[in-house]
Structure formats: C-alpha cells, structure tokens
Copies of this chain bind each other. A is one copy, B any other.
Amino acid sequence: MRHHNYMDLNDLNSTRFGKEANEHVLVLTPLQNDEQYLDHYFELLDKTNYPNHLISIGLLVSDSTDDTLEKLYNTVHRLQNRWRNRFYEIDVYQKDFRLDEKPNDTSLNSRRATLARAKNFLLTAALREHHSWVAWVDVKLHSYPPTIFSDLMLVDGDVVVPNCLLKRQDDEFWGFDRNNWQESDLSLERQQNAAEHEVLMEDYNQYSIGRHLLVDMPTHQGTRIPLDGVGTTFTLVKATVHREGAVFPPFVYQHELDSEGFAKMVKSMGFSVYGIPSYTIYHF
C-alpha cells in the first residue's frame, strides 16, 4: 500500500513533439449501448503510430442495456494481456446518468447538460499526474489518420480539432461535427440581445444563427483556424487546460452548454482553440 507520494508537476509539458518527449495521452470516451462499435474503436487506437505504452484509455459506461460491459471486459483483457503493444492502462468506469430520462424538461439542452456532467465525471475519475494530453474520442468514428495524435500536437494549440465528416454508403461525405465553429457578426449580435440564460447552440438547423462551421470551410485549407465552439468527435486538449479549470459546463456559460461552453471557457482563460479544415476524419 502507498502511504505518501511526492510529484513535481512543473515539468509536465505538452509540446509539439509529444511522442519524442514521451508525453502520455489520456483518451476519454463515454459509452452508452455501443457494443457494436468497440472492436473498431480499439482497432483504430491500436493502429495509431503514437506508442501504445504512452496511451491511457478511460471509458465511462452509462445507462447501457446491451452487452457493452461484457464486450469491454473481453476486449480489454485481450488487449492488455498481449505480450507486446499493451496500452499504458485501460480504466472502465460505470455510472448511470439517466441520459435518456426527460422528467420535466424535454429540451435538447437538458440532454446536453447531462452529457456534460458525464464527461466531467469521466475526466475527474481518469486524469492522472502523468498525463500531458487529453483526447476526447467518439466511439463511432469510421476512420482517422494513424498519425493523428502527432499531427494535432504539431498544430501547437491548447485545444485542437480535426474536421469530422460523415461517411455515407455512396462514398459521398457530409459535414458531421457541426459543433466546431467560429462566431459571425450575426451570431455575436444575437448573443448581445439574448437573455442571460438563453442557450444559443448551432448544431441543428432550427438553432442556426449563422456561425461559420468548420465542416463548411474549404477542405484544401491547411492552416489552423481559430474556433469559438468545438464538439468532441476528436478533440485534443493540453492537460493543463482541464487541470486549471476548463470543464464541460452543465450550466449556461456564455449562452452555451457542454463542449461549446468548454470552448468558451478555454478562451476566457486565455488558451487557444483551433480547427483544421483540411484535416478530415470520418464518423459512421
């Protein structure tokens, strides 16, 4: 048993060359009835060229009625009992947030607030002293480049997102993650006139207030674009951003909730948020 411990966290960095500096990445993914996506999820993570021994994975299973837990148990045991290429650690947490319950309030906001609570819960349970980076990764991703961790680290932002598109059967692609956006004159004006607790999200057409969506930007554009809102299909965060207090607000913050509210907090704290239109990943 461990009775005391001392750690100097002044040297815990998040640099452009994390792999070369042996920086640990914590991959976080909330799950709910996602049994059929788990194999592919771990396969994609296993195939990245970021060393598995520098990757920790934290999973939160909420409100699941399928065999997500049993499937996880088998998969995690198989992966972590390999002779080689084990991940640094895989932690599975179970906690029900009654995500599908809508007692008095049937609004979308209420579900986003509960999702935010679940993500914060996962973060505080899984974040450890050795983690330099936190990556929020959606369980339903179809594909991303195996170099994604290193590529996004090179961008040198405090929060960085690729452009997440939808993989369709006919090989066309559509925008998927509509939470990655930049404010526009119109959206800023709308916020000026909104009541203090009004939520002004952008992700569905009926809520559109004219922000510039990352998915609508020219995908040959390779430069990093400053964003004001982000989603969590694949979001790389310097650990210090979370450690110093940026969370997913389950309450209204600057007219946003959850991941878009997180981006607003990050910016309020003086940290940077970037998206890369040309860096595309695909969602099922």
A interface residue numbers (CB < 8 A to B):
2-10, 73, 76-77, 80-81, 86-87, 89-96, 116-117, 120-121, 123-125, 127, 129, 240, 242-245, 247-253, 265, 268-269
Contacts and interface: CB of A to CB of B under 8 A. Distances in A.
A247 B117 CA distance: 12
A245 B250 contact: yes
Contact of A4 (B77, B125, B242, B247): B77
Given A4-B77, A89-B2, A269-B251, A10 B94 contact: yes
B252 A268 contact: yes
Contacts of A120: 243-245
7 contacts: A3-B87, A4-B77, A6-B94, A8-B93, A117-B269, A249-B265, A253-B253
Given A4-B89, A7-B91, A251-B269, 17 more contacts: A2-B89, A4-B80, A6-B73, A6-B93, A7-B93, A9-B94, A116-B245, A117-B269, A121-B240, A124-B127, A125-B129, A244-B250, A245-B249, A247-B247, A250-B269, A251-B268, A253-B253
Contacts of A6: 73, 91-94
Count of this chain's copies in the oligomeric assembly: 2
A251 B270 CA distance: 9
A90 B268 CA distance: 33
A75 B88 CA distance: 33
Nearest to A3: B80
A8 B125 CA distance: 11
Contacts of A73: 6
A112 to B, nearest CB: 12
Contacts of A76: 4
A90 B245 contact: no
A96 B10 CA distance: 7
B245 A245 contact: no
A7 B73 CA distance: 12
A124 B242 contact: yes
A152 to B, nearest CB: 22
A158 B81 CA distance: 41
Contacts of A121: 9, 240, 243-244
A112 B10 CA distance: 21
A175 B116 CA distance: 38
Contacts of A7: 91-94, 125
Contact of A9 (B81, B95, B251): B95
A282 B88 CA distance: 46
